[in-house]
Amino acid sequence: MFVVQLLLVVSMNLWRPTYSAFMLATEPGVVQEYVAIDHVSRNLLAAVMFHEDQEFPVRFHAFDWNEYVARVEGHRAGEEDPSGSTIHQQVAKNLFLWRDRSVLRKGLETVLAVEVAPLVEDVKVLEIYVNVAEFGPDIYGICAASWYYYNRAPHDIEQWQAIELAGLLPSPGHVSRVRGAPGGGIDTTVDGDPTSAYTIANAKRKLPRYFAEHDLDFVRTLGVEGFAEPSPGEPDSCTAMPEGVADRIAREEAG
């Protein structure tokens, strides 16, 4: 079993996952299309790391063990988690596990993340993360999210849009596309729950300062140079709106 698990983790270096455990557990209607990291806006990649895991580009391990122990002790005491999971942990959780916050799931997440960190290149971990992360109800991955919210390919995402999308990651369940607007946008008033609006507002407060201080240094640290360019016809380029996104927008506008 351990050997199979290691082989599965190592194979992530070659994966282009179009499904994850989270997606499989969601009702039919999931919209996702894989996009290679070369075709993802550097603004988006930087915003995700700024918001979700600022140590990701420079940390060798999946997480800081002292912080992890503090989180475990806080969880036992019933305290709110002050830091959240690292990108390695979130990738392990999204790909292989389930949503609840049980001790069992957190333990498995930890084991898998520890294995992923030394065996899978960081740039590949980030690519997988932005492709399997949930950006809205049934909207997974930046290819679907960029087209759904902004009518833009992921290579064309501007800094302010990247900040909003990164702000969705902690709480993607209470948003929709703005209806009737040619350029789209994120509507945080769809169900009366303010959680997603709060996390986006928090990102808008914090991330401009990180961009001002670091620009795209976080991205270059991973070896992702230059700027994302459109490559029509190239596999995994997401230069056209996915059919599932177009169908969903049409249904929402008609309803």
36-254 belongs to CATH 3.40.50.460: no
User: Between 175 and 255, whose confidence is greater?
Assistant: 175
Q: How many residues does the chain have?
A: 255
Angle at 221 between CA 218 and CA 222, to 5 degrees: 100
The phi-psi region of residue 215 (left if phi > 0; otherwise alpha if psi is between -120 and 50; otherwise beta) is left
CB 132 within 8 A of CB 169: no
With a cut of 50, say whether residue 1 has pLDDT above it: no
Convert the pLDDT of each residue in 74-103 to its tens digit.
655 555 554 578 999 999 899 888 777 767
Q: Which of 84-88, 113-117, 121-125 has the lowest mean pLDDT?
A: 113-117
Expressed in angstroms, the distance from the first to the final Cα of the chain is 49
pLDDT of 4 reads: 47
The reply to whether the predicted model has a pTM over 0.85 is yes
Task: Supply the DSSP symbol for 148.
Answer: H
Domain boundaries, the chain: 36-254
Convert the pLDDT of each residue in 41-57 to its tens digit.
999 999 999 999 999 98
What sign does the CA torsion over 216, 218, 223, 224 have? negative
Q: Which amino acid is at 99?
A: R
The phi-psi region of residue 228 (left if phi > 0; otherwise alpha if psi is between -120 and 50; otherwise beta) is beta
Closest CA to 92 of 125, 66, 50: 125
